[in-house]
Amino acid sequence: MSVLECLSTEKRSQILAGAAKVFAEEGYEGASMSRIAHEAAVSKGTLYNHFQNKADLFSVYVQDACSTYLSHVFSNVKEDGAPEEVLLSVADRMLTMMTDPACIVIYRVVMAEAAKFPHVAQTFYQAGPAEAIRRLTLWLTGAAADGRLAVEDPQFAAEQFLALVQTRTGLRRRLCLDHDVDPAFRDYVVRETVRMFLDRYAPHT
């Protein structure tokens, strides 16, 4: 990578960090490119050199964040991995992601603006939930094909699994009803999610 490319990458990261702070404080509608440029300590010219408009910037911000989170969630998934081992890892990391303060901020910004700005919700859904479903569906399809699991509809099963992971903790954290998740209960949610899922989808004997 050339010096100019390195500088461009650094500026992009700097802008996205500033944008994250402004979107968290002002929401999508309230955020302005001027405020984002100020927060990122760059000129408006530099900002527009990297992003066409606020919608473009928000889209990249959400996609980058979701990509980082999901890369971690699925980093231990082996194509031929044992179902219990793979699912415990995914459940544990998914629950960590769902209760992470920065992730919750993105969710709240999207929910606050979704009715007025449908593209905001669509961007988040495609980069976050839909991508998580796609990745898990792909693994479940392979596990069903070689007999490790008995899954008739891998996409539906993936959605079931991701819903189970959120039991009690996910929604309450997003609504600020629980500021901390008890570690023992958190581990219980992970174990029970996998147990219930395997009770339903373990191969028939």
Tokens 């793979």 sit on residue: 86
Which domains are seen in the chain, by residue range? 1-51 (1.10.10.60), 54-201 (1.10.357.10)
- The pair of structure tokens assigned to 112 is 């606050």
Q: What are phi and psi of 60, to 5 degrees?
A: -65, -40
Q: What are the pLDDT tens digits along the chain (205 aa)?
A: 444 455 478 899 999 999 999 999 999 999 999 999 999 999 999 999 999 999 999 999 999 999 999 999 999 999 999 999 999 999 999 999 998 989 999 999 999 999 999 999 999 999 999 999 999 999 999 999 999 999 999 999 999 999 999 988 887 887 777 666 788 988 999 999 999 999 999 997 6
| pTM metric for this prediction | 0.89
What pLDDT shows up at residue 4? 41
C-alpha to C-alpha distances, 17 to 11, 27, 40, 62, nearest whole angstrom: 10, 15, 7, 12
> Are 144 and 156 within 8 A, CB to CB?
no
Which pLDDT does position 174 carry in this prediction?
79
Q: How far apart are CA 86 and CA 76, in angstroms?
A: 7
Per-residue model confidence (pLDDT) at position 7: 47
- Measured at the CA of 189, the angle between CA 123 and CA 152, to 5 degrees, comes to 65
